[in-house]
Amino acid sequence: MTLADLRQNYEQNVLLESQVDPDPIKQFKHWFNDAVAGGIKEPNAMVLSTVDARHRPSSRTVLLKDLTAEGFTFFTNYESGKGRDIAGNPAVSLLFVWLGLERQVHINGSHGNCPKPNRPTTLSAVR
């Protein structure tokens, strides 16, 4: 078997601009609910990409903990590699991949600390 043999045809859904909510948060929530209803394993798993002080990108999987009009919230330790990357460069990228639905959502934004009692060093948001 070769890598070419693994290629799938993605024909399940056609994305039409007329079917997309003009509010990106509402659209995301709609697709997220579809992922939950569709039985996607850990639909809240997302790839967080950051860039370190030497301009090297790094990506890792984190879990979405909350979503509001303010942004996408995830937990992190500000002393971790990703925490240090974010402190030096708040520009981040998120990627949700739901292959079973033939959908993915890519979000570019900037990190902002979200104060929360009892967890002041473990909460982050992308706005």
Helix locations, 1-127, DSSP H: 24-37, 81-88
State the pLDDT at residue 122: 43
Domain range spanning residue 109? Answer: 45-58+74-127
What pLDDT score was predicted for residue 76?
A: 83
pLDDT of residue 21: 92
Q: What is the total count of domains within the chain? A: 1
**CATH, residue 105:** 2.30.110.10
pTM for this prediction: 0.83
- The tens-digit pLDDT sequence of the chain (127 residues) is 998 888 877 777 777 888 889 999 999 999 999 999 999 999 999 999 999 999 999 999 999 999 988 889 888 888 889 889 998 998 999 999 999 999 999 999 888 766 554 443 444 555 5
User: Has residue 88 been placed in a domain?
Assistant: yes
What is d(CA 112, CA 3) in angstroms, rounded to the nearest whole number? 40
User: Can you give the pLDDT at residue 5?
Assistant: 83
87 in any annotated domain: yes
Residue type, 19: Q
